[in-house]
């Protein structure tokens, strides 16, 4: 991108006029600016800062879904399974691998929810560890709740020991921490590439190498990184990875997750949820279970075809522009968000809980203030939509293809205005709840 990164741009005095001018300059210089028009709702004044929780729908999705109902489902009926639908979990998985994950064909499949996929992968990874002294699962204290709950439950089922990495909520897990926590007893390590609270971007290649050096296997959660940062699973020799598709991939509420299994693990590997769709010759309906070869063996029940359709539009866009351009826009957006924080929010007592180095964060930043719990609902009412995370954090999630710098400016300006109203109310002895 031709524009300098906002944190080094030297905005004069952080004034409102200067920051608005800066936002417009960044939009004018943005080579991805035109892609914003592909998304529904971007022609309004709404400031959507929650793309890291649920992405906007693409305009083409209306046509895609309508056409599927009319022509594919309505026209072909059950013939659709033989003609296309049975292959979609792997076909879309391969496109996802190619466009976003840095994964060669045959290693990625669309299936289930993130929770179910993670369960399958963790159990499969544990089953692949044959050394009886390897009885520990390593995870961190600030990982997403699903990841922690799953690992705790699996450890209880299998009689394994949990080794916790004490993660700093304002940053994340480092290579040094992983090296200190792993050793001869390590079986599997479960971590997120982007921390869901702080946005900290973990060193995926370095941590993967550290786990392998200790003789363990690693399962990566890519929910907050897939579609926002460059990922190279094959190059890093990652063992397993999972992620959702409704954030930066715009698959829609509850769209199915993806599973990645490194090709070197696929032969002979078994996942724990045996269902008819993961069986060799599923339509034989015969006795006994023999897993299908390759990544198809990680399917269980009937694929959620409807839920897979929307993400294809975003994958097409990402293949068109490339993940490098998406990542560059993400860095610019989060850097401008930090600049707005420094100019407007920090003087009001707001704390930045995200690394300042753009290379150490994903596509969201977190800011903390005691007033934010109550404020978030009020912001939503005025069409400014960030995401609240207890105890007192607002996450500003920035989807590179669909978010403009001016939209970000408007959103943070609204947060500033709410803070100013609260301080004014306190000055006049009117109660301003801060919980």
Q: Quick check: is 246 catalytic?
A: yes
Give, as one character, the DSSP assignment of residue 243: E
The one catalytic residue among 200, 246, 248, 388:
246
Number of H helices, E strands in the chain: 15, 13
Q: Is 362 exposed, middle or buried (0-12, 13-18, 19+ CB in 10 A)?
A: buried
Three-state secondary structure call for residue 10: coil
The one catalytic residue among 60, 123, 361, 395:
395
The one catalytic residue among 5, 21, 68, 144:
144
Asked if 228 and 327 touch (Cβ cutoff 8 Å), the reply is yes
Percentage helix, strand, coil for the chain under 3-state DSSP, each rounded to 5: 50, 15, 40
The one catalytic residue among 140, 203, 221, 387:
221
Counting Cα atoms < 13 Å in the Cβ hemisphere of 423 gives 12
The one catalytic residue among 36, 123, 247, 373:
247
Tokens, residue 392: 């007192």
Tokens, residue 281: 């010759």
Longest dimension (CA), the chain: 77
CA distance 256 to 149: 20
CA distance 171 to 283: 49
Q: Quick check: is 405 catalytic?
A: no
Q: Quick check: is 395 catalytic?
A: yes
Residues annotated catalytic, as ranges = 144, 221, 246-247, 395
């Amino acid at each position: 991108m031709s524009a300098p990164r906002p944190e080094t741009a030297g905005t004069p005095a952080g004034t409102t006029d200067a920051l608005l001018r800066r936002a417009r300059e960044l939009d004018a210089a943005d080579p991805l600016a035109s892609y914003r028009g592909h998304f529904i709702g971007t022609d309004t004044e709404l400031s959507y800062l929650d793309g890291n929780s649920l992405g906007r729908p693409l305009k083409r999705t209306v046509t895609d879904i309508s056409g599927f109902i009319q022509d594919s489902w309505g026209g072909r009926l059950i013939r659709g399974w033989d003609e296309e639908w049975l292959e979609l979990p792997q076909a879309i998985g391969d496109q996802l691998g190619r466009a976003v994950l840095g994964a060669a064909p045959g290693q990625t499949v669309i299936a289930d929810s993130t929770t179910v996929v993670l369960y399958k992968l963790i159990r499969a990874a544990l089953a692949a560890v044959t050394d009886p002294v390897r009885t520990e699962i390593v995870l961190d204290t600030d990982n997403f709740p699903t990841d922690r709950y799953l690992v705790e439950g699996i450890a209880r089922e299998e009689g394994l020991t949990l080794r916790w990495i004490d993660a700093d909520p304002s940053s994340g897990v480092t290579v040094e921490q992983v090296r200190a926590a792993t050793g001869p007893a390590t079986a599997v390590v479960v971590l997120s590439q982007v921390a869901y609270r702080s946005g900290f971007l973990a060193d995926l290649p370095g941590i993967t190498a550290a786990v392998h050096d200790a003789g363990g296997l690693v399962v990566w959660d890519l929910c907050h990184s897939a579609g926002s940062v460059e990922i190279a699973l094959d190059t890093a020799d990652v063992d397993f990875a999972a992620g959702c598709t409704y954030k930066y991939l715009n698959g829609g509420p509850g769209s199915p997750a993806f599973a990645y299994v490194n090709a070197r693990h696929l032969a002979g590997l078994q996942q724990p949820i045996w269902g008819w769709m993961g069986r060799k010759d599923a339509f034989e309906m015969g006795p006994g279970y023999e897993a299908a070869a390759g990544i198809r063996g990680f399917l269980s029940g009937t694929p959620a075809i409807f839920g897979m359709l929307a993400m294809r539009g975003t994958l097409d866009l990402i293949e068109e522009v490339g993940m490098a351009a998406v990542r560059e826009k993400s860095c610019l957006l989060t850097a401008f968000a930090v600049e707005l924080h420094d100019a407007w929010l920090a003087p009001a007592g707001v704390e930045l809980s995200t690394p300042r180095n753009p290379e150490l964060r994903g596509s969201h930043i977190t800011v903390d203030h005691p007033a934010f719990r109550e404020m978030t609902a009020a912001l939503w009412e005025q069409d400014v939509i960030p995401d609240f995370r207890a105890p007192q954090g607002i996450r500003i999630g920035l989807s590179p293809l669909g978010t403009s710098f001016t939209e970000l400016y408007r959103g943070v300006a609204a947060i500033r205005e709410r803070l100013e109203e609260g301080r004014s109310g306190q000055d006049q002895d009117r109660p301003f709840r801060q919980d």
